[in-house]
Structure 1
Amino acid sequence: MSSYREERRADKVAERAQDREDMRLKLEAQLKAKEIAAEQKRKDAEAKAEQARKDAEAKRRQELADKRARQQEKDRKKAARRAKVGKLTRWLNQNPVTVFVGFVMVCSIVPAVISQVGALADAGVFVLLAALLSAMLEGTAWALTFMGKQAEDAGRPAGKYRVATWCTAVLAAAVNYWHWAETLPEHTWVAVVFAASSLIAIYLWDMKTHGSHGKTREERRREKARRKHLKDRRKHHKDIAEEADRLLSALPFEAVSEEEAFATAWRIRKGAEPGLSAEIYAAATDARVQLGAAFELGEHVRPELVRAGMLASLYNPLPGRLSEGIPTLGPTLPLPALQRPSEGATALAGIGLYASEGASEKAREKASEKASRNAGDSANGNARRGRSDEELEALLPDALKAAAELVAEGNPISAAGLAKKLGIRRDDARRLRDRVIAERKLRLIDGAGADESAAVAGA
């Protein structure tokens, strides 16, 4: 019995312990749930605050963007207005005539229309009908004016429009004059002024659209010179001009210009560039030969006169530098002598240093030869003497060829040059040079005499 009670007591103790444990677990669960709810509430509050912050930031950015867009639009409109004002200002600065013409036209048209309305109203026409008729009259004049301007700009005849414009304007002026002449017979000038108000605007516009057109004085001068040039071309080169006309008619329309056709015809007929021909080349070559002969004959001519003649573009029949020669042909003779300092008249002609300014060079040459000869004599007692006259006569043909080569190279016929080309002593070359120059002069004189005799016989 006692053991049963003890077991019951033990069971009750265990139950109470279990109840306390359950109560403890329940309290712990409740506390945990409260903690979780508090944490969730805190997180929800934080999320709500973050969303509110983001919404506020987005709203602020949108407001800034809207403000920036409004400012940009404002700046754009301001820039557009400034551009329009600037464009208008530039147009006014560039077209002051148009501005003042427009101003005068308004001041002329308005009184003319009002005067015509008054004239028709005084004649018993209804005011509104009088206004329409006056506007029709003036409007017709200006419609014809602008139609004529459009036709002129398009390249069509505009004479009929101008005639119709002036007829309409004169009719409007007659209406104004008749009205005011009857209204104020003692002040005829008033009628003239109102009549002129219908003509001044048309006159100004006609002067502006036609008076500012046309060719300038320089353009008219060039056109006149061009016509004269074409007339002289057909007069002086009739056969080539006819050949050019045939080329233009054979080729497609506007395939080549008149200048190109004439240049082609010239090349076909003359075989050279326009302005040149075989005859011109022959004349230029003959003139150069004669000029060279004149220089070789002018041994004792003053150097400054010869050089002045050389610099007077005698070598070139066409404008240009002296050393360029004829266009498309090039220089036919080398002119290095012109690129060096003046060496005297005969030096320019390829004859040697005979002028006074070559005396010092000649003296130096003699002194050098004398010194070399004395040195040779002292070193070799039996030094060979100069060549005899017979030997120099035998060398004369070779010396003439050497002299021609020196002249062709642009060098003077000097003793040093002949000695170098023939391989002889300097004193022999000096004697041989005198014979070469004399022989060349005789040949030139004989050639000139033969040409003169042929010319006389031909005459």
Structure 2
Amino acid sequence: MTTTDFRTIRREQDREDRRAADAARLERERLAADQQMEIRRLALEATEKQREQDRLDQAQKAREKAEREDRKRAADQQAKKEHDREKTRRQKERRERRNAAVKAAPKWLAEHLDLAAALVVMACSIIPALISQSASLSDTGITAPTAMGWKGSLLVALLPVMLECSAWAATAGEAKALAQGRSPWAYRIAVYLFAGLAAWINWQHGHNAGGDKYGTLLGSVLAASSVIPIAVWQLVQVGRHREVKAKLKADRLARREDRRTTKDRKKLYPDVWHTAKQLRAIAGRQRLSLDEAWHGAYAVHEGAGPEALPADLMVLLSAELLGLRAEAEKGLADVLGKLNEARALRLKVSGAATENVPARTAESVHKASVKVSADGGVIPPTHPANRSLHRAAQRVRETASAQAAPSVPMSAPAREDKPARTRKPRPPRPERTLSEGAKKAARETALASATDSAAAEKKALEDWAADELRADRKVTWQAVQAETLRRRKETDKKAVQPSRSWSYDRLNAAKKSTGLHLVQAERSA
């Protein structure tokens, strides 16, 4: 290959290289231009999207603002409607109340004419009273510049109001005390004091202002302006608190009776009163009232029932007081024994005086015959409800007789060949005289014991009959009568059987308790 050929080839190769380089450069420029164009396109799209989003956001904000304004407008309209409706309702209520008050005014005046007149009197009298008192204070010269000046004027304005308002405040307190059931006398005294002072000031002013000719008349009228309205108001209140006044009067009478009772107790029963004070000192004044202490002391001295001397008070008694209680109960047992003997004697005499008695009645009288006690006394026939009380009295008498001569042995049987020994009779025991209060307490104790025993016996028989009926066993009035007699003979061999009506009553009570009377009524219907 020649140098020329080589150079030619070299030049062609260089041209190809330059052409390829230019083509590559152009391609790179084209790609760069395309890339720039794509970037500008994307930027334009992003800008357009941002503008669209901004437009949408503005539209959303506008819609929300419009909705808020609409809601606010609707709420304002609703609130205005409610306000107008409430205003209309209040106006209607005020109009109805006004109309009702106007319609009720004649009726109220007819029912409370005294109160209405009193209010008119008060309104017409308080102003002249204030003017009169102010003028009376002004006449003293305290309002002059050389005296107290404006301070005196202030006193002239305030002191009359103080006097009148004090009287009316006490009057209102009196009315409130009567309404609450309290004593009104403290307020009444204040009313009379304040009203009297105001009336005296008005009297002095009217008497001085009226002179010798009209002083008495003018002073009386001005003094009445402070007294008359209060008097009229109190007259009105008198008719409005009758129940309270009746209650206060009853309380006063009760306190007066309590004082009289205390005075009579101190005078008639000094020993019992002294014992009552001892019991209160022992138990404490707050724990034991004076009335309870008195009944307890009376039970100690006179042997009253256990209700007057409860167990918590019994434990506080000293040995001396317990001894007095034992002697009182022993005396009460003696009196009850004598009462039973007197009843037995009366029944015996009345039975002997009765000749034409049916056989059934004679048998009942024979069963109810008197019993002879161990010491020769006579015990009357008793109802089963009273036997426990009489047996207790009999035991007390036997114990007292045994304690009277405990060292005397029983006498031996007398021999036939020796004359019987004679013993000097004992002197009669001095009788114990009880007060009317002790006798009344003994009667109440015996009656309470009899009532409780009779109620217990009735309850036991009714329960027995009810149990028999529940067990489907036939129960008749004869069965109730026989069961009652059997139970009574367990405690008293000479017991008397109950009557037919009494047995019927127990049977009917048992049927009612089990409900069988309703079943029988339905079957008969």
TM-score normalised by the chain length of structure 2:
0.42
TM-score normalised by the chain length of structure 1:
0.47
